[in-house]
Every structure is written in structure tokens, then in C-alpha cells.
Amino acid sequence: MNNQDIKNLKKRYFIWLYKGAKEVFDKFERKFTQLDIDKDILDEMEKELLGSYLPHEKDALQKYINDFEKYIENKEKACSELRDQEKKINPEFIFSEIKLNAVEKAIIKEIGKRGLEEIKSLYEKEMTERILKNTQTH
């Protein structure tokens, strides 16, 4: 096996390691980032509801707003449970962040910052394609 073959094997292993570590970490983090977006969307919907509809329309639409508020409340509760377990930080959450950081450092050490950026880009592309593919069938 020549040096390029070894380099390719290492790179593929780093891609696999990064993907696994990032997916676990994202499982936690996405809920927190989604909350900010959900709250902004709720604010916009409430503004729209206040000024644009007749009273009988507002009553019917308010049910959907209330359902979305409940959805956000449930997500907030789930987020706090992910991070905190009886006032202790969730060890799985901490470990996922530590592992992702360690994998990123190993990638930089072995194939450089550009290698890490390429792997991150490949991961982001795959996740985006997965989302687009899943939403096309629904």
C-alpha cells in the first residue's frame, strides 16, 4: 500500500468518525437552536394574527397558535432535561461535545485545518441532502 492509499484510508476513517460524533452532538444541540427559531416564528405569527384577521377568524387561528406555543414549551422542557439531570449536567451531552472536539483536533493534527473544513462541508452537504430527500417524500 502506498502513502496515498494510507492517506485515503485515514481520511475516510476521519469522515466516518466525524459523522458519528457530529450526529450524536447535533442530536442535543439542534433542539436548542430550533427553540430560538421556533420562538421567532411564533412571534411573527402572533403579530400577523393581531393585525390582519377578523375576530371570528382570529378565534379559529388562535387554536393553532396555542398548539405551537405548547409545542415550544414541550421542547423547552425536553431541552432542560437533556442538559440537566437532577441539577447535574447530562454526561452523555458533555461526552458528545468532548468527543467531537477530540475528533476535530485529531483531524487537524493528521490532515490539517483544510481537511477538517472539507470533512465538515461533506457532512453538511449530506445532512442537507438527507433533509431535502426526506421532505420530498412527505
pLDDT of residue 137: 59
Element (H, E) at 89: strand 88-89
Q: What is the pLDDT of residues 69-89, one digit of tens each?
A: 999 999 988 887 776 655 567
Q: pTM of the entire structure?
A: 0.76
In this predicted structure, the answer to whether residue 106 has a pLDDT above a threshold of 90 is yes
**Which grid cell sits at 136?**
420530498
Any idea which residue has 450526529 for its cell?
Answer: 23
Residues 6+ apart with CB under 8 A from 126: 19
φ/ψ of 88, rounded to 5, equals -110, 140
Task: Indicate the number of domains in the chain.
Answer: 1
The domain containing residue 93 runs over which residues? 3-136
How far the first Cα of the chain sits from its last, in Å, is 46
Residue 136's pLDDT is 67
Residues 17-71 have pLDDT tens digits of 999 999 999 988 888 889 999 999 999 988 887 777 777 777 778 888 899 999 9
Residue 80 confidence (pLDDT): 78
Which pLDDT band holds residue 109 (cuts at 50, 70, 90)?
very high
Window from 2-6, 97-101, 133-137 with minimum mean pLDDT: 133-137
Report yes or no: 100 and 112 within 8 Å, Cβ to Cβ. Answer: no
